[in-house]
Structure 1
Amino acid sequence: MDTAISRASDDDLIQLVTAEGTRTEPSEFTGLVEDITTDKLRDLYEDLIVVRRIDAEATALQRQGELGLWAPLLGQEAAQVGSARALHPDDFVFGSYREHGVAYCRGVDPTEMLRFWRGSTQSGWNPYEYNMTTPAIIVGSQALHATGYGLGIKFDGADGAVITYFGDGATSQGDISEAFGFAASFNAPVVFFCQNNQWAISEPVTLQTHITIAERGRGFGVPALRVDGNDVLAVLAATRMALTRAREGSGPMLIEAVTYRMGPHTTSDDPTRYRSAAVDDEWKKKDPIDRIERLLDAEGAMDDALRARVKDRADWTAAELRRGCLGTVEPTAMSVFDNVYADPHPLIAEERDAYATYLAGFEGAQS
């Protein structure tokens, strides 16, 4: 394992499947996915398709006025699916606001993903039910939370691990630097997973840093790998390595998954104002789904039955997503006082009564 880390220290991208859908020469990382049979590769392909469909349906719902906002993940499916499928059930995930694919792989009902963006809830889902936090809007804050959770694992003498996701833009935040330093100093079992999608809203990663993001982590004493983020097998292998190190007590690790945000930063963004179509076209040739389709086809594992199965699953998921979103019970003005404390609290009761009286005054004015 340490040999693989040192060999990757020159920041060559770890890649197991090329953009053309052919397998690369065997390496230390190949052995980490030897258990991925043809059937399991088909399952990963299904994950990629379904996650992209969830994203497309949610984007459409936002455009139709059913969601206040959405952070698309188009192009980043392999980075999310590959890393999420490396996790054990008891590992804990601290995501940002774009890890819809990770949430899907953790078993989160897609409808629960939308309630936050629809304004139907103050959070989303129960984090302890899926061992994954709800979206973190404050950029980079989740890395500190993950580091603290990792220290708790260490102090408890447990053998679990924690993973936290963030984008390249978050690495310019102080929170990420503090998390790197703290995790390295205390040997916390944390995997820092950076989805370097090349853009922090309208600012390219080349403006944020003149070195790789992996090097930034190493500067704090955190070993790091750079992986082809559009190669689901390479991401799976790298994440398995990092999680194994964490569970064994070898401390934190940073994975820089080099990928590309094909769409806008959020649905309020227009990437055509700052990004050329030529760059988009170049990255489309590296599409993570096309890559696995080509691999399956080359290995005689792609057929009409698989295509039909995956399409049915994606269609069903999209329909359930839309049905659940439109059927969500909207919160009332008074629901802001719900779930503030686990038990009844006199201050909340007082504030609820005062606010109810305030709202009633408007009703009287209208009459």
Structure 2
Amino acid sequence: MTVMEQRGAYRPTPPPAWQPRTDPAPLLPDAEPHRVLGTKAADRADTELLRTLYARLVRGRRYNAQATALTRQGRLAVYPSSTGQEACEVAAALVLEERDWLFPSYRDTLAVVSRGVDPVEALTLLRGDWHTGYDPYEHRVAPLSTPLATQLPHAVGLAHAARLKGDDVVALAMVGDGGTSEGDFHEALNFAAVWRAPVVFLVQNNGFAISVPLDKQTAAPSLAHKAVGYGMPGRLVDGNDAAAVHEVLSDAVRHARAGGGPTLVEAVTYRVDAHTNADDATRYRGDAEVETWRRHDPVELLERELTERGLLDEDGVRAAREDAEAMAADLRARMNEDPELSPLDLFDHVYAEPTAQLREQRDQLRAELEAESESGARDAGAPEGGRR
């Protein structure tokens, strides 16, 4: 004990009472996923919106089936199907204004198509071409992101830059449950919350990161709970309830546009098909599990709701299916056309201004191609006996 303490002059100052910077309670997600279909909330739903969602879901289901068939025919190199997740895909596209931006992952071609991108252009990258197939600036749709979660920081950067410029723009970034295990996910959420960027993060929790189930990825109560650690609200929604997903995402977009900052939405859904056409899903999940989720199919849920309320009859169902078949037939016909490819395209977008070395390589390749073409033409015109 010091002399000052012995004399009674030492009085340690108690630390100030600690207070959290943000009350976590309003940020916490509900205990159960938000639902609309089959509840009293459905009575208040916009009937025209429900019909629109239904038509888009039917079209989306057929799109997934046709794209999957194209992989078997060798017309696509790979296709990550979103069958069973159509409610998330369609709703994500419908809640955005024309000026907003969509940042998709590789599984979100249906959301890209629902945003207005031509179906063939949306599949160009998966066809094996070197580019994304569509103009991101024209459609306000970022390129499909194959690396997990790398599109999320890009969405934050664009949204933050738009706000600094005074543009009324919201970015909606889509990612799977596997992507939440990536560092890009955490960095994006942290930056978005600190900057209060107008971003909505939509996590489609479809149960598996390829073959890894969710409980092997995280011990969190839900993925929506992760939002609280970054200081943003987390929302939990039934990802197969198209009306509920649309409602929750619409609220999050309005919140972001009004300056309220980002929201993390977890949509609980299921990947009915395999991870891609190269995956054997039977190695890590059973048929009984898949069948359980088939009974909670997003198309059937909405069709049942509309039918029971007298908002959809057999003619309406037939019209939606015929429209979907027409889309599939057009996609099939155009994908069966062999694309015209030029090896010289490889040099066009490496640098804004090609380097001397690139120009030299391009000229060398052009000369080789021309020589090969001339040789083929001579052989084609030579007598049968004179050919080598």
TM-score w.r.t. the length of structure 1 is: 0.90
Aligned to 2:8: none
- For structure 1, which segment, 69-78 or 318-327, has the greater mean C-alpha deviation from structure 2 after superposition? 318-327
SS of the residue corresponding to residue 59 of structure 2 reads helix
**C-alpha displacement at 1:343, in angstroms?**
6.2
Residue pair 2:27, 2:227 contacting (<8 A) in 1 also: no
Residue from 81, 88, 92 that aligns with 1:83: 92
Residue from 120, 123, 137 that aligns with 2:132: 123
Aligned to 2:14: none
Aligned to 2:187: 178
Aligned to 2:241: 231
Residue pair 1:82, 1:235 contacting (<8 A) in 2 also: yes
Residue pair 1:227, 1:238 contacting (<8 A) in 2 also: yes
**C-alpha displacement at 1:272, in angstroms?**
0.5
Aligned to 1:336: 346
Report the Cα distance in structure 1 between the residues aligned to 2:367 and 2:134, rounded to whole angstroms: 31
Which AA in structure 2 matches 1:126? D
- Alignment CA distance shift 1:283-1:276 (3 Å): same
Q: For 1:277-296, what aligned pairs fall within 5 Å after superposition?
A: 277-296=287-306
Q: Deviations over 1:166-208 (max 9, x none)?
A: 0000000000000011111111111001000010000001110
Q: Deviations over 1:8-38 (max 9, x none)?
A: 6343211111xxxx2x134xxx7xx95x533
2:203 corresponds to 1:194: yes
- For structure 1, which segment, 225-234 or 129-138, has the greater mean C-alpha deviation from structure 2 after superposition? 129-138
Residue from 166, 172, 183 that aligns with 1:163: 172
2:226 corresponds to 1:219: no
2:265 corresponds to 1:255: yes
Gap runs ≥5 in structure 2: 1-24, 380-387
**C-alpha displacement at 1:131, in angstroms?**
0.7
**C-alpha displacement at 1:332, in angstroms?**
2.7
Which AA in structure 2 matches 1:12? E
Aligned to 1:99: 108
Residue pair 1:120, 1:330 contacting (<8 A) in 2 also: no
Aligned to 2:40: 25
Q: Deviations over 1:136-191 (max 9, x none)?
A: 11111000100100111121122221110000000000000000111111111110
Report the Cα distance in structure 2 between the residues aligned to 1:299 and 1:279, rounded to whole angstroms: 30
* Count of residues in correspondence between the two structures: 353
Residue pair 2:233, 2:264 contacting (<8 A) in 1 also: yes
Which AA in structure 1 matches 2:51? R
Residue pair 1:195, 1:256 contacting (<8 A) in 2 also: yes
Residue from 16, 36, 58 that aligns with 2:36: 16
What RMSD in Å do the two structures reach over aligned CA positions?
2.4
- Alignment CA distance shift 1:248-1:355 (3 Å): same
Aligned to 2:50: 41
Residue pair 1:96, 1:135 contacting (<8 A) in 2 also: yes
Report the Cα distance in structure 2 between the residues aligned to 1:160 and 1:79, rounded to whole angstroms: 21
Gap runs ≥5 in structure 1: none
SS of the residue corresponding to residue 174 of structure 2 reads strand
**C-alpha displacement at 1:287, in angstroms?**
0.4
- For structure 1, which segment, 169-178 or 320-329, has the greater mean C-alpha deviation from structure 2 after superposition? 320-329
Residue from 136, 140, 146 that aligns with 2:145: 136
Q: Deviations over 1:56-88 (max 9, x none)?
A: 101001011111111100100011112221111
**C-alpha displacement at 1:359, in angstroms?**
6.3
Aligned to 2:61: 52
Residue pair 1:162, 1:189 contacting (<8 A) in 2 also: yes
**C-alpha displacement at 1:336, in angstroms?**
1.2
Residue from 352, 361, 366 that aligns with 2:362: 352
TM-score w.r.t. the length of structure 2 is: 0.85
Residue pair 2:27, 2:231 contacting (<8 A) in 1 also: no
% same residue: 38
Report the Cα distance in structure 2 between the residues aligned to 1:12 and 1:158, rounded to whole angstroms: 36
- For structure 1, which segment, 148-157 or 253-262, has the greater mean C-alpha deviation from structure 2 after superposition? 148-157
Report the Cα distance in structure 2 between the residues aligned to 1:174 and 1:305, rounded to whole angstroms: 49
2:288 corresponds to 1:268: no
Q: Which has the larger radius of gyration?
A: 2
Residue pair 1:225, 1:256 contacting (<8 A) in 2 also: yes
Aligned to 1:67: 76
**C-alpha displacement at 1:128, in angstroms?**
1.2
SS of the residue corresponding to residue 200 of structure 2 reads strand
2:126 corresponds to 1:110: no
SS of the residue corresponding to residue 123 of structure 2 reads helix
Report the Cα distance in structure 2 between the residues aligned to 1:324 and 1:339, rounded to whole angstroms: 26
- Alignment CA distance shift 1:8-1:231 (3 Å): farther
Which AA in structure 1 matches 2:49? K
Report the Cα distance in structure 2 between the residues aligned to 1:9 and 1:44, rounded to whole angstroms: 25
**C-alpha displacement at 1:308, in angstroms?**
2.1
Report the Cα distance in structure 2 between the residues aligned to 1:330 and 1:152, rounded to whole angstroms: 38
Residue pair 2:105, 2:151 contacting (<8 A) in 1 also: yes
Which AA in structure 2 matches 1:9? P
Aligned to 1:244: 254
